[in-house]
Structure 1
C-alpha cells in the first residue's frame, strides 16, 4: 500500500511537471496540424484551417516562408518576391557590401530602384514544396536490436540517400530527410532553392541593432531588427544563378500585412525553421550542459569578446571586419548565460530526476518485454554521460578556445593540402585544391586583423591549456609553459608565433600555397602555426574524438529508446519533436509577464522608449537624427498607436535559434511582426519550457513600415506590399482575397 501511494504521488508530480502540450509549448510539423493542432489553434483564435497553413495543392502560408541562408527564416511580403527577415540575419551580407567609404552597417542602405538592389553570392532562399513521412522507407532493412549505432546510421543514411534522390529525380527540386523523436521517425522535405537573392534595404545599425549586446536577449526591447531582400528567378520563375536578365520571383502566396496591431490574448503563429532543442534530455544531459559545457564556453567567449570589443572600438576597419563575427560570438555567449540562469531557477536537474524516477517505476512495473526494453535504460545513460564528461569538456575547449583563434582555424583548414602532397595525389587534383584554398584564404583575410587575432590568442591559449583535462591535452601544448616560463610566457610564445608564421597575411600565405602547389609540403608543415594547429587537431582526432563519438553514439541510441519509452508511457500526451532546422509552427498568445518578484512587464514597447534610452555617448543607444526629428514632429503616418509608434511585442510562442526572421502571423493569416529574439529569462526553453517565463520577442510590423516609409523614404517598397487595417479585409475561407488599403496619415488616436 505504501509503495502504491508513493508511486501515485510520483505520477501526480510527474504529470504536474510535464503537462499536456499546450498552445504556447511545442514546435509542430505543418503536415500534422490537421490531426494534432487545428482544433486547439482555432479555439485559441485561429480563423484559418490547417489546409490554409500547409497545403501541397494550393497556395498556403507555407509558400510565403523561406529558410534564409543556412540559419534564419524569412517571409515573402509582396507579389514580386520581396523578402523580410531580421537585420541580424542579413548582417553578414550588409557587412560584405560595406567598407570604410561606404559603411552600410552604420548608415543603412536602401535601393531606390531595382538596379540598386545588390547581389549576394552564396545566399539562398529555400521554400518547402512538400513534406512526407518516410519512416518505413528509411528504416527498411535496419535491425531494431543487436546493431551498433554507427552501423545502424550507415544503413539509415544509405536509405535516406536512395529515398531522397528518387523523390526529386527529373525535377529541379531538392530533397532532404531528417530524423524526428531522436530517430524514431523520419520525414522528407522537398525543396525549391533560389540562388539570386539581392539586398534591398537595411536600416542603420542605430536602428537595426539599437540596444546592442546590452539589450540582446532582453525585454523590454526597442530594436528595429529587420532587413529586406528580394528573390530573383529566371524567366520561367524557377531558380537560376545570378544574372542581370533574372526577374523578381512571383510567389504562390505572400503575406498581407495587418495595421490593426495586437492586444493581450491575441492569437499568434510563428512559422519558421527553428534550429535545435533538447526538450527530452535526461537529468545527466541537463547537468552536463549546466555544469560542464556552458560554463566553459561562456568563459572562453567572454575573454574573446573583451579583446574584439577593444579593437573594434579603436578602428573602423577592424569594426567592419569583425562586426558579423562579434555579433555571432556574443549572441550565444549571452544566451548560454541566460540559459543557465533559467535552468537554475527551474531547478531543471531535480525536475528531470523526478521524471526519471516515475519512468523507472513504470519500466519496472511492466511485463517482461517492457522491463527488457526500458528497465536498465537510465543507468546506461548515466554511465555513458559519465564516460563522456571529460571528452565533452576537451572537445568544447578545442572548438571554442583553440579553433576560436583564427590563425589556428585557417591553418587547420589548409593542412589537408600537405597530406595531398605527401600522399602523391595527381598534380591536377592538387592544383585544383590549392587554387580553391587560395581563393578561400583571400576571402578570409578580407575580414582578418592579425594584431587583433594575436591578442585573442594571448587570451585563449591559456584557457585552452588549463581548461582541457590534462590527460587530453596535446604534448606539444603541455611543453609550451616550460619553453616559455613565467607570467608573460604565453604572450611571449604568441608574439613569436605571429612574428614568424607566414599565415598571418594574405600575401605570404598565397606565396606559401604556391610552394605547396609545387610539391613542397614542408613549406606548410614547418610553419609554426601549422605545428600548433596540427598538434591540437591531430590530438583531437586520436585522443578525444574516438571516445567522445563512441559515448555520444551510445547516448543517441539510448536517448532514442528513452523517447520511444516516454511516448509509450504517456499515450495521452501529444508529443512534439525537437527542433532540427525544419519548417515548424509554434502558436501562442500575446501576453505580458513577470520576470521577478515586484516586476511586471507590459506586452509592447514604443518609439517613446527608444528616446528614453537614447544616449549619444553610448554607441549601442545612439538615435539617428532623422528618427529623433520624426519623434519630435509626431510624423508617424498610419503606423501610430496611443500617440507613439509600436516597436516590439511579446507572446508565448515556443521559439529558438533559426526562428530569427520568422513571420509572426495573426489568426487571419496576416503578418503582424517578425520574430527576432527571446527574453533572457526564457532562454532555457531549448531544454525546458516554462509558459510563465518564456516569451518570444517580435518586431511590430508597424515599426518596420514606419522606418521604411517615414525614416528611409522608401515608400515604393511599402506600395509593393498588401496592407490591411480591417479584420474583414482578408476572408479566411480563401486566405487570398485582400483589400489593399490606402496609406493615410493617422492621428495619435489610431487604434491598435
Structure 2
C-alpha cells in the first residue's frame, strides 16, 4: 500500500532463485535458505546472532533520527553514522566564529559533548507478524484513509499495553508486501543524543555533488554521537545535565583487519523505501510525472541557492543541510531515469506482468479482482494531475520562508495564542526562526520558481495571483515577490497576526497562501479519486507474484524497518573496465591538488599532509599495502541505509554504507546485480582521522582500538 501523502510531498524480473546479493531481509523471520547461503559465502556466526541472542547484531544497530541508520561501537554508547546524517546536528551548533561544519569538532571530555534538539536513536527490540489480526479486522475492505486509521489504532492499543510493562517502549505497525502482510515492531527511543566528533566538511563531504552517486570515492562520510541515559535506570530520558553515557548490552566490535576482494559483507540498517513490486505503469509515472519534474525544478532552485551560499559563509551555514537534501534526490531522479531507460525496465516489467497474467488465466487466482490492463488505465488517467502535484510541491512546499508561512497560515497550522478571547482579539504569531533562512536567497528562489511553474503548468491551472503578476507587475516575478515580502504581516518579526481582522484577510501573502491552498486541495481531490483502486490493484499484483513464485523466498519492499542485506566485497565493470573495489590515499591527494579547478575537492593543508603520509602505520591494509579509504560491496541498499554498519563474516565492523554508484539508481524499483554497488567508508579511514587529525585518544581507547605510537 502506497500512501498518497508520500506520493504527493522487490520485484525480481526473472523466475530464478533470488541472487545472494539481492534482498532487504527482515531479521526475525530470515528464511533458512537465505541464512544457509550467507554461511556458504562466509558468514560464520550462528543464526541467533542476527536477531534473537543477547549479543545479536540487531541490538547494536539503530534508527538514527528517523532518516538514517547508525551503529553503537562502545560500552559507553558511542554511535557511528554518516557525516551527512549528522549534518543538521553539526550545522545547528555552527556559527561563523565556531564553524564546526567547516572546521570539524571533537569533544575532549563528556562535558564538552553537545546536545541536539529533535535528534534521537531508536533500538528495535522485537518484531512479529500480526497479519491474521489485521485480516480479522477486514483491513482490505476499507479505503486507504480508513486503513491508515485502523493501523494507527492497532499500534496505539499495542503501545498502551506494552507501556504497562515498560513505559520506555512503543510499537509501530507497518504494511509489508504491498499490504499483504502486517508486522508490529517494538522500539525504544533515546532522545538525549550528543555530538562527539566530526571531521571538517572538506573530508565529510569530499567531492560534494561532483562525486555524489559516483565511483571512485574518497569521502570520509562519518560522524560520532553519544547516547545519554537516565543515571538510575540506564534507560531513555529527556535531556538533562545529570544524564550519563548509555551502557548498551551489546556493541559492534571495530575491526582493523580490513577485507579482500570476494569477502563476505553484510549491511544491517533502515532502508527507507523501495518499490520493486511496482507495476510497469507505476514506473512510467515515477519516471515521467515525478522524477523528471523534480529534477527540473530542483535544478532551478539549487542554482540560486549555490550562488548565494558561495558568496556568504553565514548563508552557507544556514543552507548547507537544505542544499544537500535537495541535491541528493535531484541527482537521484536524474540517474534513476537514465537507468530506467538504459536498462529497459518498463518493458521488462511489461513482460513479467504478461507472465503473471498467464498464471492468473491458467489458475484462476484472483480472477475478477486483479486486472492489469485496468491498472494501466487508472495510471494513465491521473498522469497529468500527478505531474502537476509534483510541480506544485517542488515549487511551493518548503522552498522559501514566505510561501511556507503563507500555506501554513492558510491551513490553520499556526496556533492561536488566545483562543478563548473575543474573535477580534484572537491572534497568532510565528516563531522567530530567522537564523535558519536568508531573505535575499529566499526571495530570489521564490521568484525563480514562480516563473518556472508558469512555464510548466497549463495556464488554466495556475493560481489566481498569476493574473496579478501579469497585469499589475508586468510579468516581473521578482517585483511581485518583493511586494509580498515587504508588505505582508506574515514576515514581520514578533508581529501579532489578528486572524479575524479585515487587515489580515486582505494581506497580500495571506491571499497568496489561500490561493495556493485552493490549487493544492483540487489536486488532492483529483488524485484521491483513483488512489484507493490503484493501491488495491498494486497489492493484488504483488500477491499474484508471490503466489506464482511460492517455492522461492521473498523479501518485502523497504519501509524504514530494520533489514539485512548481504553479498561480497568487489567491483564491477565501469565503462568496460574493472572499477577496482577500493580507493587509496594517493587518489584523494590527486583530487585535492585539483581543488582550484573544483571547489568540492578543496581541503585544508593538514588534510593533504595527512593523506600524503609515507607510512600509515596500523591503518595500512596488510594485503594491498595501501591506506584504503572507500570500498565497494554488492549489498542491496537504498535511502535510509546511510550510516548502516557494514559487517564482515565474523560480525565485526569494517565500514559504513554512505552511497551507491550511478548504476544503482534504479535500485528502488529493480536491483541490477551486475552493476549496482554499495559504497562504504572504511572504518580504518575513519579511525585514522580520529587519531591523526582529531587526536581523539579517549574515543579510540573507549572503542578498544589499540593506538600505536607514531
Corresponding residue for residue 96 of structure 1: 92
Of residues 632, 635, 638 in structure 2, which corresponds to 1:653?
635
Of residues 189, 193, 198 in structure 2, which corresponds to 1:197?
193
Deviation at 1:196, TM superposition (A): 0.6
Counting only pairs closer than 5 Å after superposition, residues 520-531 of structure 1 correspond to structure 2 as 520-531=500-511
Of residues 685, 704, 720 in structure 1, which corresponds to 2:667?
685
Mean Cα displacement is larger for which, 664-673 or 409-418?
Answer: 409-418
- The yes-or-no answer on 1:281 pairing with 2:278 is yes
CA–CA separation in structure 1 for the residues paired with 2:151 and 2:427 = 31
Classify the secondary structure of the residue corresponding to 2:29: helix
- TM-score normalised to structure 1 length: 0.88
Counting only pairs closer than 5 Å after superposition, residues 670-709 of structure 1 correspond to structure 2 as 670-709=652-691
Corresponding residue for residue 164 of structure 2: 169
Shift in alpha-carbon separation, 1:531–1:428, aligned structure 2, 3 A: closer
Corresponding residue for residue 545 of structure 1: 524
Corresponding residue for residue 497 of structure 1: 484
Mean Cα displacement is larger for which, 646-655 or 354-363?
Answer: 354-363
- The yes-or-no answer on 1:613 pairing with 2:600 is no
Classify the secondary structure of the residue corresponding to 1:231: strand
Mean Cα displacement is larger for which, 552-561 or 234-243?
Answer: 552-561
Deviation at 1:667, TM superposition (A): 0.6
Are the aligned partners of 1:637 and 1:710 in contact in 2 as well (CA < 8 Å)? no
Are the aligned partners of 2:61 and 2:71 in contact in 1 as well (CA < 8 Å)? yes
Shift in alpha-carbon separation, 1:118–1:305, aligned structure 2, 3 A: same
Q: Which has the higher helix share?
A: 1
Deviation at 1:53, TM superposition (A): 1.1
CA–CA separation in structure 2 for the residues paired with 1:458 and 1:584 = 43
Corresponding residue for residue 537 of structure 2: 558
Are the aligned partners of 1:149 and 1:554 in contact in 2 as well (CA < 8 Å)? no
CA–CA separation in structure 2 for the residues paired with 1:242 and 1:274 = 28
Of residues 50, 55, 79 in structure 2, which corresponds to 1:59?
55
Are the aligned partners of 2:504 and 2:510 in contact in 1 as well (CA < 8 Å)? yes
Deviation at 1:323, TM superposition (A): 0.7
Corresponding residue for residue 37 of structure 1: 34
Classify the secondary structure of the residue corresponding to 1:33: coil
CA–CA separation in structure 2 for the residues paired with 1:553 and 1:483 = 43
Classify the secondary structure of the residue corresponding to 1:588: strand
Counting only pairs closer than 5 Å after superposition, residues 433-444 of structure 1 correspond to structure 2 as 434=428, 438=430, 441-443=431-433
Classify the secondary structure of the residue corresponding to 2:687: helix
Classify the secondary structure of the residue corresponding to 2:30: helix
Of residues 93, 103, 125 in structure 1, which corresponds to 2:121?
125
Corresponding residue for residue 644 of structure 2: 662
Counting only pairs closer than 5 Å after superposition, residues 154-165 of structure 1 correspond to structure 2 as 154-165=149-160
Counting only pairs closer than 5 Å after superposition, residues 501-516 of structure 1 correspond to structure 2 as 501-504=488-491, 508-511=492-495, 514-516=496-498
Q: What do residues 292-328 of structure 1 show as CA deviations (whole Å, max 9, x unaligned)?
A: 2111000100001100010001111111111110111
Unaligned runs of 5+ in 2: 1-10
CA–CA separation in structure 2 for the residues paired with 1:687 and 1:381 = 18
Deviation at 1:398, TM superposition (A): 1.5
Mean Cα displacement is larger for which, 355-364 or 425-434?
Answer: 425-434
CA–CA separation in structure 2 for the residues paired with 1:446 and 1:575 = 48
Of residues 376, 380, 393 in structure 2, which corresponds to 1:386?
380
Unaligned runs of 5+ in 1: 1-13, 724-741, 747-752
Counting only pairs closer than 5 Å after superposition, residues 360-371 of structure 1 correspond to structure 2 as 360-367=357-364, 370-371=366-367
CA–CA separation in structure 2 for the residues paired with 1:217 and 1:485 = 42
Shift in alpha-carbon separation, 1:495–1:257, aligned structure 2, 3 A: same
- The yes-or-no answer on 1:328 pairing with 2:328 is no
CA–CA separation in structure 2 for the residues paired with 1:432 and 1:19 = 66
Mean Cα displacement is larger for which, 255-264 or 462-471?
Answer: 462-471
Are the aligned partners of 2:426 and 2:500 in contact in 1 as well (CA < 8 Å)? no
Counting only pairs closer than 5 Å after superposition, residues 729-744 of structure 1 correspond to structure 2 as 742-744=706-708
Classify the secondary structure of the residue corresponding to 1:559: helix
CA–CA separation in structure 1 for the residues paired with 2:129 and 2:33 = 15
- The yes-or-no answer on 1:271 pairing with 2:251 is no
Q: What do residues 143-191 of structure 1 show as CA deviations (whole Å, max 9, x unaligned)?
A: 655x544444444443343334334434221111110011111111111
Of residues 617, 620, 624 in structure 2, which corresponds to 1:637?
617
- The yes-or-no answer on 1:604 pairing with 2:582 is yes
- TM-score normalised to structure 2 length: 0.93
Counting only pairs closer than 5 Å after superposition, residues 190-229 of structure 1 correspond to structure 2 as 190-229=186-225
Corresponding residue for residue 235 of structure 2: 238
Classify the secondary structure of the residue corresponding to 1:190: strand
Are the aligned partners of 2:289 and 2:390 in contact in 1 as well (CA < 8 Å)? no
Are the aligned partners of 2:218 and 2:629 in contact in 1 as well (CA < 8 Å)? yes
Mean Cα displacement is larger for which, 32-41 or 573-582?
Answer: 32-41
Q: What do residues 236-255 of structure 1 show as CA deviations (whole Å, max 9, x unaligned)?
A: 10000111111110112111
Of residues 376, 394, 397 in structure 1, which corresponds to 2:391?
397
Deviation at 1:682, TM superposition (A): 0.9
Are the aligned partners of 1:67 and 1:272 in contact in 2 as well (CA < 8 Å)? yes
Classify the secondary structure of the residue corresponding to 1:672: strand
